[in-house]
Amino acid sequence: MNYSLNDEHKLIRKTVRDFAVREIKPRARELDEKGEFSEYLTLKMGELGLFGMYLPEKYGGIGTDTLSYIIAVEELARIDSSQAATLAAHNSLGIGPIYYYGTEEQKQKYLPNLCTGEKIWAFGLTEAGAGSDSRGTKTHADLNNGSWTINGSKTFITNGASKISAGATVQAVTVTDKGRNQFSCIIVERGTEGFKQIPLHGKMMWRASDTAELFFDNCSVPEENLLGKVGQGSKIMLSTLDNGRLSIGAMGLGLAQGAFELALDYAKQRKQFGKFLHEFQVIAFKLADMATKIEAARNLLYKACKMKDEGLNFSKEAAMAKLYCSEVAKEVADEAVQIHGGYGLMKDYDIERFYRDQRLLQIGEGTSEIQRLVIARHILDL
């Protein structure tokens, strides 16, 4: 399989990299310190064509392949994980399910408005008692007289509460057959009576991303807001997570690349015992190991993207890429802090933020333990 980048991929990398350095880098530290979501940067990403970039033009996209989208996420995460999270969650979890499972009417109604950066969308899966165990979902939706009545709550929902969050696709129990719950996905728009979007504060990481709790108190939406078919929620959720794992992998890869570059630059500037740090073999070997892991992660992730674009089953490879890229992000960020020494623990140095931001990658969109379970089931043919 050929992992080389074509001219379009190279152009997207350069364009997004230049944008991230020019627009995001000067603002990243302050936004992180304040825990502030940036509508300005979100709109700028929309103007660049990053939202819905893999969608056909008739829905507001630019028709790129998966790898192009993943490169965009990677380049944002190289500078700031919060902005990368906004893009990744919106494209993979927000837009994705509507595009892949929505009716033509739903696609025409929602997708064009979600490709501009003026509005963002969320996917409501996680609950207080249902994370890795998605079948522990308690949020319930009943169909009566042509309307769904939803009761329950969701938590840790990216893009769920800012002023430009237009709504969420919510997984809820809709059918109980012989004591076994079946799930469906339902579109809930902002402003719907009984629907509350509450921002979550006090995060260690991704402090400039929009994270929310969603509450549904006899929230009523039309029957046609059902996404896909009744009882198809688990299928939609699993396929959405497969796609989302690629974007989380891209965040891990981009963060690792950024952390490596920070460590490399520091090692070339900092002197100890009359020598630059990179002149010590122990530091040079750390940098060599970091670069090797990043290259291996990139090849694994790009392979999964190529498989998706070629219509192959990429579920196992997506789990592998998400697992490995997130673990590499942890290892590289840790070594980068070590190379910085005491300065790596100070907020004046970007590596401190990178070290915090990487920690979610082994938890979000399926923990590392869950990824290993998914991989094991594939290789054992279970």
Please identify every residue annotated as catalytic. 365
Positive or negative CA dihedral for 213, 216, 219, 225? positive
Each as own residue / partner, the long-range contacts of residues 47-52 (CB below 8 Å, 24 or more positions apart, any chain) are: 47/116, 47/117, 48/15, 48/16, 48/19, 50/16, 50/87, 50/91, 50/117, 51/87, 51/90, 51/91, 51/95, 51/114, 51/115, 51/116, 51/117, 51/120, 52/91, 52/95, 52/99, 52/111, 52/114, 52/115
Count other C-beta atoms under 10 Å from residue 321's C-beta.
29
Number of residues written out for the chain: 382
Q: At a CB cut-off of 8 Å and minimum separation 6, what does 363 contact?
A: none
CB atoms within 10 A of CB 75: 26
**What DSSP designation does 205 have?**
S
* Whole-angstrom distance, CA of residue 20 vs CA of residue 259: 15
3-class DSSP string for 287-320: HHHHHHHHHHHHHHHHHHHHHHHCCCCCHHHHHH
Contact (CB, 8 A) for 69 and 45: no
CA 136 to chain centre: 22
Alpha helices in 102-197 (DSSP H): 104-110
Question: Please, are residues 111 and 52 in contact by the beta-carbon 8 Å criterion?
Answer: yes
Instruction: Tell me the three state secondary structure of residue 242.
Output: helix
Contact call for residues 42 and 121 (beta carbons, < 8 A): no
d(CA 330, CA 353): 13
Cβ proximity of 326 and 368 under 8 Å = yes
